[in-house]
């Protein structure tokens, strides 16, 4: 039976001269499944310009032929597709120097969305990217506590402010502007105004990514962000329970309605790993998010374990990607970051300026 490395090596002969790379290095080969002599995978190509269907079919046939040549392979099934990318952001009023703005969202609270957003951002920093983090939850800002910072932003001019720096991130949160115990008793227009200021009057500077920790739900605040922020895509966070998945589906449908690409679903608290626990303990029905992703025809971005250090590290102001980089959860967040980069048309093992970007 062929192994995953052997399949990848075989597919590297399928070169794409216009991109100066091959389908594996470009991150176009996804969801590889090896079952005895039967091999299947998706060839998802994000290209700088439109191509005819015959060209896509040609690359599919090249991939099939390359893998069929491996010893022991009896059948190969390839699902091929191609989309058109555009270059880096043109001159725009909102976050003009930011290449990609990624929303991390859920249909409800309590699923670890903010934890996922913070650790995803820090995992991207660990990969060498310049990253910002926007805490868009006006009623329940989490980032001052999770990142261990609570300071007023410095002014950049009469009408703009600089984001706060924490763990290599540029961060903005309403929690930096109000006292910790002050309740945000604001109506919709005030929330809209605050979010608009975060988008337009914060000097984010030249960044590769800004991760937006979205407020839970699908109301006015979410609509403001999806309509005003130059979103490249959204990551949907859920836990395995059906009550969480129901709301996650609503969040996903919201992004589809406003034409924001859904990069995929991640299952948080997927299983328990802890001292004294033998192996991995499935507390909430692990695997439900993967099934939902298949039903909804969106990528499954991986599983984040429930690990006690995740909670304690966030409470201490040092998220687990920084505080315990060798932990299972930190490795899962690193894998998620690589998936996000790949979903945007890049290759996780390449420097940012060599990537081809998707709208």
CATH of the domain at 61: 3.30.300.130
**Count of structural domains within the chain:** 2
Q: Give me the pLDDT at residue 294, please.
A: 83
Q: Verify that 161 and 186 share a domain, yes or no.
A: yes
Residue 57's domain spans which residues? 4-84
Q: Verify that 283 and 327 share a domain, yes or no.
A: yes
- 10-residue mean pLDDT profile of the chain (359 residues): values are 90 87 87 92 80 85 95 94 61 81 84 93 94 89 91 88 95 86 68 86 93 81 82 89 81 82 89 80 81 84 90 90 93 93 62 33
> CA torsion angle for 118, 121, 126, 131 (degrees, to 10)?
-130
Q: Verify that 209 and 328 share a domain, yes or no.
A: yes
Q: Verify that 117 and 218 share a domain, yes or no.
A: yes
Q: Give me the pLDDT at residue 185, please.
A: 62
Q: Give me the pLDDT at residue 353, please.
A: 37
In a domain, 90, yes or no: no
Q: Give me the pLDDT at residue 336, please.
A: 95
In a domain, 91, yes or no: no
Q: Verify that 197 and 264 share a domain, yes or no.
A: yes
Of 84, 109, 137, which residue sits at a domain end?
84
Q: Verify that 77 and 111 share a domain, yes or no.
A: no
Q: Verify that 202 and 318 share a domain, yes or no.
A: yes
Q: Verify that 38 and 178 share a domain, yes or no.
A: no
In a domain, 359, yes or no: no
Of 58, 84, 110, which residue sits at a domain end?
84
In a domain, 115, yes or no: yes
pTM: 0.71
Token pair belonging to 136: 């868009």
Token pair belonging to 240: 């395995």
Q: Give me the pLDDT at residue 358, please.
A: 30
In a domain, 249, yes or no: yes
Q: Verify that 216 and 311 share a domain, yes or no.
A: yes
In a domain, 62, yes or no: yes
Q: Give me the pLDDT at residue 230, please.
A: 84
Q: Give me the pLDDT at residue 48, please.
A: 66
Q: Verify that 169 and 142 share a domain, yes or no.
A: yes
In a domain, 60, yes or no: yes
Q: Verify that 212 and 115 share a domain, yes or no.
A: yes
Q: Give me the pLDDT at residue 115, please.
A: 94
Of 84, 116, 150, which residue sits at a domain end?
84
Which CATH number fits the domain that encloses residue 301?
3.40.50.300
Q: Give me the pLDDT at residue 347, please.
A: 47
Q: Give me the pLDDT at residue 158, please.
A: 83
In a domain, 92, yes or no: no
């Amino acid at each position: 039976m062929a192994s995953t490395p052997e399949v990848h090596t075989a597919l590297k002969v399928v070169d794409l001269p216009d991109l100066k790379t091959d389908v594996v290095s470009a991150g176009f080969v996804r969801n590889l499944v090896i079952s005895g002599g039967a091999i299947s995978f998706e060839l998802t190509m994000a290209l700088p310009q439109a191509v005819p269907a015959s060209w896509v079919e040609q690359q599919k046939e090249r991939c099939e032929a390359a893998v069929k040549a491996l010893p022991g392979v009896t059948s190969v099934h390839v699902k091929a597709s191609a989309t058109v990318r555009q270059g880096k952001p043109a001159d725009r009023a909102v976050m003009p120097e930011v290449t990609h703005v990624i929303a991390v969202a859920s249909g409800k609270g309590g699923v670890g969305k903010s934890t996922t957003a913070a650790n995803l951002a820090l995992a991207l920093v660990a990969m060498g990217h310049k990253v910002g983090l926007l805490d868009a939850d006006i009623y329940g800002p989490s980032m001052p506590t999770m990142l261990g910072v609570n300071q007023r932003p410095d002014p950049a001019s009469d009408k703009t402010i600089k984001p706060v720096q924490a763990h290599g991130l540029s961060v903005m949160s309403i929690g930096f502007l109000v006292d910790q115990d002050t309740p945000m008793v604001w109506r919709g227009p005030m929330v809209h105004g605050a979010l608009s200021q975060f988008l337009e009057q914060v000097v984010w500077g030249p960044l590769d990514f800004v991760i937006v920790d979205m407020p839970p739900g699908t109301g006015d605040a979410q609509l403001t962000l999806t309509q005003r922020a130059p979103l490249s895509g959204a990551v949907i966070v859920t836990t395995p329970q059906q009550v969480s998945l129901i709301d996650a589906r609503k969040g996903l449908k919201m992004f589809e309605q406003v034409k924001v690409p859904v990069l995929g679903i991640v299952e948080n608290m997927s299983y328990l790993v802890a001292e004294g626990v033998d192996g991995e303990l499935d507390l909430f029905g692990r695997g439900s998010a993967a099934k939902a992703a298949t039903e909804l025809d969106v990528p499954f971005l991986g599983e984040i374990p429930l690990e006690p250090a995740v909670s304690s590290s966030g409470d201490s102001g040092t998220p687990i990607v920084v505080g315990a980089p060798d932990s299972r959860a930190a490795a899962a967040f690193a894998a998620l970051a690589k998936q996000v980069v790949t979903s945007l048309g890049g290759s996780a093992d390449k420097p940012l300026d060599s990537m081809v970007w998707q709208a």
